């Protein structure tokens, strides 16, 4: 059955190209090629720098621009770009935790979470700072650490001019300094 393609809106990007909001799952050939350049067997997104050999991967990628989430949870309103993300989400409803640690009794709903957990046992710290000797077991640890070197402070107080490198520090600041103020 051919799905009806419904284009809800077009947005103008800073680069002057259009980003189409709507469904791409059965988009006509012409619509696909208005969003994708194909040369030498490579599919290149016209909205960003993403490139792949496979049109199926490109159609999935284009959902990041269109906002299409065709995989709907039947238990709640959640919807996803990819079928695998729906399958992982369903485990939040079922409580399924198929990935188990061989060292301790911990179990997880996602393999990547088990991989990260295993680093607590192995001591592996694969995320290394290019500016000093610091290393981290998780990428987010390195991202937070890099703010020391870049002096980035992305978390700003709504009540004063204070800004922080960590969200936790902002929350503590607000609760200590502005506890009596309403937002």
Which burial class, exposed, middle or buried, applies to 66 when counting CB atoms under 10 A from its CB (0-12, 13-18, 19+)?
A: buried
> 183 falls in which pLDDT band (50, 70, 90)?
low
pLDDT score for 83: 93
> 180 falls in which pLDDT band (50, 70, 90)?
confident
pLDDT score for 84: 92
Q: Look at residue 46 and tell me if it is in a domain.
A: yes
DSSP string, 72-136: E-SSSS-EESSHHHHHHHHHHHH----EE-SSSS-EESSHHHHHHHHHHHH----EE-SSSS-EE
Please give the mean pLDDT across all residues of the chain: 84
Stretch 57-68: mean pLDDT, rounded?
Answer: 90
8-12, 22-26, 63-67, 75-79: least confident range: 8-12
Q: Look at residue 161 and tell me if it is in a domain.
A: no
- pTM for the full predicted model: 0.54
Q: Look at residue 62 and tell me if it is in a domain.
A: yes
| More reliable by pLDDT, 26 or 148 | 148
pLDDT score for 27: 53
pLDDT digits (tens, 9 = 90+) for 89-147: 999 999 999 999 999 989 999 999 999 999 999 999 999 999 999 999 999 999 999 99
- The C-alpha atoms of residue 32 and residue 26 are separated, in whole angstroms, by 9
Q: Look at residue 11 and tell me if it is in a domain.
A: yes
pLDDT digits (tens, 9 = 90+) for 146-156: 999 999 999 99
How many separate domains does the chain show? 1
Q: Look at residue 84 and tell me if it is in a domain.
A: no
Range(s) of the domain holding residue 34:
7-66
Q: Look at residue 99 and tell me if it is in a domain.
A: no
Yes or no: say if 181 and 175 are a contact pair by the CB < 8 Å rule. Answer: no
């Amino acid at each position: 059955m051919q799905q009806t393609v419904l284009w809800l809106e077009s947005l103008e990007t800073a680069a002057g190209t259009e980003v189409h909001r709507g469904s791409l799952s059965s988009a006509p050939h012409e619509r696909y090629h208005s969003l994708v350049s194909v040369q030498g067997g490579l599919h290149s997104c016209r909205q960003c720098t993403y490139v792949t050999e496979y049109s199926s991967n490109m159609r999935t990628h284009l959902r990041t621009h269109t906002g299409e989430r065709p995989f709907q949870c039947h238990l709640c309103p959640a919807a996803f770009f990819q079928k695998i993300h729906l399958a992982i989400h369903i485990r939040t409803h079922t409580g399924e935790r198929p990935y188990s640690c061989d060292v301790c009794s911990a179990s997880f709903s996602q393999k990547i979470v088990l991989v990260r957990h295993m680093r607590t046992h192995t001591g592996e710290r694969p995320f290394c700072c290019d500016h000093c000797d610091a290393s981290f077991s998780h990428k987010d640890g390195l991202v937070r650490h890099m703010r020391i070197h870049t002096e980035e402070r992305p978390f700003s107080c709504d009540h004063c001019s204070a800004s922080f490198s960590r969200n936790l520090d902002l929350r503590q600041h607000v609760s200590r300094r502005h506890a009596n103020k309403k937002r």
